[in-house]
Chains A and B, each alone.
Chain A
């Protein structure tokens, strides 16, 4: 926070003028403005909200994975006192929605996966709604089902979506250079297969929506969405109304992590219940419903072929990615857009190709999840990099440094690595952890007797750090106004889901306008007020919304200084705003108090209010048809080192330390960036060691925290963070997006460390104790 320094200034008309020194808050530790209410339990989350006359909705999910609906008997449910509405797919028109327009809110005729919604109820209490659901009788005729993407693509496989008789969903193809020739010329060619699992977000606030139609047919929806503006566009067809007739209000949410970047059936169902009942309707998932019905991270099977010459130069990389689409298409099968960038552009690989395909099955479907496809790609590439290094007899650091790009290089897909810090990240990570000496020592001890084996491993990756242009605009709007008391309100399109954009934007306004934290209010929870933004995703919010806020704050600052200049004999360039005053920039002497100036401007003969609006569009490109284009205005690298202890008897892996080195452009909020990185590392720790949503024949086997194991405090390793600051030129603020790399890189660093410890490589995370024990003992004990 800025602190006020009082010095004795030059005497003027008998008084003492205050002097204010320049103090920036950028790069300091600023607490989240909403934290005190969250700490005291005052914050009313969407799950806590109750509206007058509100009804409670509940969904009947099917218990089948693929079946024809023969009949649904809702008569007993409708007759239950307290029930207002019972809906089935037969009661509503065909309302197709989703990425591939292959989903509908309530299923009619057929169910295709365990999540399918066959009926919904709105009642006066949650208990009555639950009782009503239990009274609905559905008769099914089971159909042959298919669960694996390989089987789904075979001829004669059961058809999941009638519009896609070959079960093929989205496909991606990219190639650069002559891969076949590169393969023929390579000294060494290695082929590997990896399988990555279903994992789920585990937002602490379970899924919830409150829908409220007014008498004119307009919908207000209280939503957990992370992308309120495009959400209107995606939600509208699922309800059969115009997107312009939807107002989205975003109360505080209990986490999101990418799980709320699409419309999921419970939301239009909630709206349809409100429409049918004429009442506000709230629909909340239980934890079990949340585990079963929320989108997962995209599972996939990878075949990767890589070439290297004896001197350690990478020659080519060829990747096949087969994805289980599930029964409907959300964002999961679109993750190759980001994943491909890592496969084709992480390290200098002259010839690359990528083939991605998603196949419809009767399994559950995936959405986006912090890291967006790059979690999977980085697990694969970082594991392969270590194997290639070993094959050519180089250490993991030297091998990576040899193939790392330099600033100014452009990847085959057109990612411009203008200020590439990859080598710097690797070097710092190696040096801070004493990597090479530990790596060699542990490798030497690997085959010696002993119960506990230690290991160290490194992984690196690249991620979009200046937004990701997947829509025609990747921008964000900002409206900034100052009142007569010099209190600023920033109305931004950026959403707050806990990540801390409230603090970052507050800092930016404080810094440009020289006002204290308490005098800044951020408004960002209502699409009727806020200007457009793509949403909180792709590590983009500090970059895009931060720069939009900066633009607005600079415009307001200019307006203020111009007005001050008119009143004094000082030019705008020679003035600054500090601690609530307009001051002389050179000596900090106050010229006028800011609030006084604002009132003078407001109540002048030609009144002016300080009230500006700005739109920031990052300098990035949409991909062309061949997946080429500089998708993000800037890119960032990270190098993470994991240190582990493996209990070779039980197979338990304990991560003792994670050292993270990341190119962050410029630190804006040190407290926030640390929190983002530590939190991301925890998510990746779960991916590495314990998390897997177990799905058998389309059914979820572990829909609870007992059997789906997210990391807890005692498993959390020591974390050491190093920020590489480059003052990113693509960002007026200097900052890069940071939030996803921490959730991407640790897992393969852990797997590489486990290899260093026990000499066994794991091609399918998570490395559960059982999996590790089986790899060590499986052959001998059974």
Chain B
């Protein structure tokens, strides 16, 4: 039973409220509502609506770093001119995200904190070595800690977020020159589909060699997965058919998908192979 409802207007105010404990944070509601309706989650006694915290909105750059406020909606990412120019893979993932109505409401922080193994927005952010900024109220002021996104997820629906913490923003460095990335997602329909598999691959292609390889895969493990072994296999190598075949083999060994109502483990593994091939050929520019 909810006893209190608050609408903080700043991170500091929110952090103070959350510090009191037993709170449920609500923003776009797109995940929280179905989860509570289905009984998969129950409300705490204090409902904190963070939608009015203006400082948690928007996309900005400075000193070669991008910052996306946690309350930025997926539509705002999709419509961002600067992201379209600089980080198109993020826009592409946003374009594959749910439906227009959900994109209009769903926030970046919500998608990350929901920690679905199939969460679409984490894939490109993992490629970018993004960090999440977590705020809490410590000794009378706002304390911020940064956590690499790759370490943020701990299991399906589980993150390192502590009670009283709020995901304020996501930050990542402007990618190096020559950075290219690809986002692949399954499903006969463009959107409104929980990913059977989604994959992102990024690298810098220089003199025919791949460097800084990053591979992130959704819906093949308990958390969105960084395929680090396959990344190392590809690192510093030239892209030829042999290399691509060994990347396919390597990544299929690296994933540990499950059978569920949406797809079998076999199909998820199969798609992982198809997608890495597509992603590599995209990155290689053909």
Given contacts A707-B261, A781-B273, contact A714 B190 (CB under 8 A): yes
Is the beta-carbon distance between B192 and A774 smaller than 8 angstroms?
A: no
Interface residue from A707, A709, A773 paired with B270 (Cβ < 8 Å): A773
**Chain B 256-286 per-residue mask, 1 if CB under 8 angstroms from chain A, else 0:** 0000011110110111011001000000000
Query: Measured between alpha carbons, how far is A777 from B274 in the docked complex, in Å?
Result: 11
Is the beta-carbon distance between A701 and B261 smaller than 8 angstroms?
A: yes
Determine whether A650 belongs to the interface, using a CB cutoff of 8 Å to chain B.
yes
User: Which A residues, 699 to 737, have Cβ-Cβ distances below 8 Å to chain B?
Assistant: 701-702, 706-707, 709, 712, 714-715
User: Which B residues, 186 to 210, have Cβ-Cβ distances below 8 Å to chain A?
Assistant: 186-190, 192-194, 196
Is the beta-carbon distance between A653 and B267 smaller than 8 angstroms?
A: no
Given contacts A649-B274, A781-B273, contact A690 B188 (CB under 8 A): yes
Given contacts A706-B194, A777-B270, contact A769 B262 (CB under 8 A): no
Q: For chain B, what secondary structure do more than half of its interface residues adopt (helix, strand, loop), or is it mixed?
A: loop
Q: Which residues of A contact B270 (CB under 8 A)?
A: 773, 777, 781
**Chain A 756-776 per-residue mask, 1 if CB under 8 angstroms from chain B, else 0:** 000000000000011001100
Is the beta-carbon distance between B188 and A689 smaller than 8 angstroms?
A: yes
CB distance from B33 to the nearest CB of A (A): 13
Query: Measured between alpha carbons, how far is A652 from B196 in the docked complex, in Å?
Result: 12
Q: Give chain A's interface residue range (CB within 8 Å of chain B).
A: 20 to 34
Q: Which residues of B contact A709 (CB under 8 A)?
A: 188-189, 193
Query: Measured between alpha carbons, how far is A700 from B271 in the docked complex, in Å?
Result: 26
Q: Which residues of B contact A653 (CB under 8 A)?
A: 188
CB distance from A672 to the nearest CB of B (A): 28
Is the beta-carbon distance between B261 and A715 smaller than 8 angstroms?
A: no
User: Which A residues, 659 to 706, have Cβ-Cβ distances below 8 Å to chain B?
Assistant: 689-690, 694, 701-702, 706
Query: Measured between alpha carbons, how far is A689 from B273 in the docked complex, in Å?
Result: 23
Query: Measured between alpha carbons, how far is A689 from B188 in the docked complex, in Å?
Result: 9
CB distance from B250 to the nearest CB of A (A): 15
Is the beta-carbon distance between B188 and A769 smaller than 8 angstroms?
A: yes
Is the beta-carbon distance between A650 and B262 smaller than 8 angstroms?
A: no
Determine whether A568 belongs to the interface, using a CB cutoff of 8 Å to chain B.
no
Determine whether A782 belongs to the interface, using a CB cutoff of 8 Å to chain B.
yes
Query: Measured between alpha carbons, how far is A778 from B267 in the docked complex, in Å?
Result: 9
Query: Measured between alpha carbons, how far is A712 from B101 in the docked complex, in Å?
Result: 15
Is the beta-carbon distance between A650 and B189 smaller than 8 angstroms?
A: no
Query: Measured between alpha carbons, how far is A701 from B196 in the docked complex, in Å?
Result: 16
User: Which A residues, 108 to 151, have Cβ-Cβ distances below 8 Å to chain B?
Assistant: none
**Chain A 640-667 per-residue mask, 1 if CB under 8 angstroms from chain B, else 0:** 0000000001101110000000000000
Q: Which residues of A contact B186 (CB under 8 A)?
A: 650, 769
Q: Which residues of B contact A707 (CB under 8 A)?
A: 194, 261-262
Given contacts A706-B194, A707-B261, A781-B273, contact A774 B267 (CB under 8 A): yes
Q: Which residues of B contact A712 (CB under 8 A)?
A: 189, 192
Given contacts A706-B194, A770-B267, A781-B273, contact A654 B188 (CB under 8 A): yes
Interface residue from B192, B193, B263, B273 paired with A770 (Cβ < 8 Å): B263
Is the beta-carbon distance between B267 and A702 smaller than 8 angstroms?
A: no
Q: Which residues of A contact B277 (CB under 8 A)?
A: 649
CB distance from A200 to the nearest CB of B (A): 15
Interface size, chain B (Cβ < 8 Å) = 21
Most chain-B Cβ atoms within 10 A of its Cβ — which of A650, A653, A782? Answer: A650
Q: Which residues of B contact A649 (CB under 8 A)?
A: 274, 277
Is the beta-carbon distance between A702 and B261 smaller than 8 angstroms?
A: yes
Query: Measured between alpha carbons, how far is A706 from B262 in the docked complex, in Å?
Result: 9
Q: Which residues of B contact A702 (CB under 8 A)?
A: 261
Given contacts A649-B274, A701-B261, contact A714 B266 (CB under 8 A): no
Given contacts A706-B194, A769-B188, contact A650 B266 (CB under 8 A): no
Interface residue from B190, B193, B274 paired with A650 (Cβ < 8 Å): B274
Q: Which residues of B contact A769 (CB under 8 A)?
A: 186-188, 196, 267
Most chain-A Cβ atoms within 10 A of its Cβ — which of B187, B192, B264, B270? Answer: B270
Given contacts A649-B274, A650-B271, A702-B261, contact A715 B189 (CB under 8 A): yes
Most chain-B Cβ atoms within 10 A of its Cβ — which of A702, A706, A778? Answer: A706
Q: Which residues of A contact B263 (CB under 8 A)?
A: 770
Is the beta-carbon distance between A652 and B261 smaller than 8 angstroms?
A: no
CB distance from B257 to the nearest CB of A (A): 12
Q: Which residues of B contact A770 (CB under 8 A)?
A: 196, 263-264, 267
Is the beta-carbon distance between B266 and A774 smaller than 8 angstroms?
A: yes
Query: Measured between alpha carbons, how far is A712 from B263 in the docked complex, in Å?
Result: 20
Query: Measured between alpha carbons, how far is A8 from B187 in the docked complex, in Å?
Result: 65
Q: Which residues of A contact B192 (CB under 8 A)?
A: 712
Is the beta-carbon distance between B271 and A782 smaller than 8 angstroms?
A: no
Most chain-A Cβ atoms within 10 A of its Cβ — which of B193, B267, B273, B274? Answer: B267
CB distance from B117 to the nearest CB of A (A): 15
Q: Which residues of A contact B273 (CB under 8 A)?
A: 781
Given contacts A649-B274, A774-B267, A782-B266, contact A694 B261 (CB under 8 A): yes
Query: Measured between alpha carbons, how far is A702 from B261 in the docked complex, in Å?
Result: 7
**Chain B 176-190 per-residue mask, 1 if CB under 8 angstroms from chain A, else 0:** 000000000011111
Is the beta-carbon distance between B188 and A715 smaller than 8 angstroms?
A: yes
CB distance from A122 to the nearest CB of B (A): 22
Chain B: CB-nearest residue to A690? B188
CB distance from A695 to the nearest CB of B (A): 11
Query: Measured between alpha carbons, how far is A701 from B189 in the docked complex, in Å?
Result: 21
CB distance from B27 to the nearest CB of A (A): 21
Q: Which residues of B contact A781 (CB under 8 A)?
A: 266, 269-270, 273
CB distance from A674 to the nearest CB of B (A): 24
**Chain A 729-754 per-residue mask, 1 if CB under 8 angstroms from chain B, else 0:** 00000000000000000000000000
Chain B: CB-nearest residue to A770? B267
CB distance from A709 to the nearest CB of B (A): 7
Is the beta-carbon distance between B262 and A652 smaller than 8 angstroms?
A: no
CB distance from A275 to the nearest CB of B (A): 31
CB distance from B231 to the nearest CB of A (A): 22
Is the beta-carbon distance between A652 and B188 smaller than 8 angstroms?
A: yes
Query: Measured between alpha carbons, how far is A709 from B187 in the docked complex, in Å?
Result: 11
Chain A: CB-nearest residue to B267? A770
Chain B: CB-nearest residue to A694? B261
Chain B: CB-nearest residue to A771? B267
Chain B: CB-nearest residue to A713? B189
Is the beta-carbon distance between A773 and B267 smaller than 8 angstroms?
A: yes
Most chain-A Cβ atoms within 10 A of its Cβ — which of B187, B188, B274? Answer: B188
Chain A: CB-nearest residue to B274? A649
Chain A: CB-nearest residue to B37? A286
Q: Which residues of B contact A690 (CB under 8 A)?
A: 188
Query: Measured between alpha carbons, how far is A716 from B120 in the docked complex, in Å?
Result: 25
User: What are 8 A-B interface contacts by the 8 Å CB criterion?
Assistant: A649-B274, A650-B274, A701-B261, A706-B193, A707-B194, A709-B189, A709-B193, A773-B270
Q: Across chains A and B, which 8 residue pairs bring their CB atoms closest together, nearest first?
A: A770-B267, A649-B274, A701-B261, A652-B188, A702-B261, A707-B261, A714-B190, A782-B266
Q: A714-B190, A715-B189, A781-B270 are in contact. List 10 more A-B contacts (CB 8 A).
A: A649-B277, A650-B186, A689-B188, A694-B261, A702-B261, A706-B193, A707-B261, A769-B267, A770-B264, A774-B266
Q: Which A positions have Cβ atoms within 8 angstroms of B?
A: 649-650, 652-654, 689-690, 694, 701-702, 706-707, 709, 712, 714-715, 769-770, 773-774, 777-778, 781-782
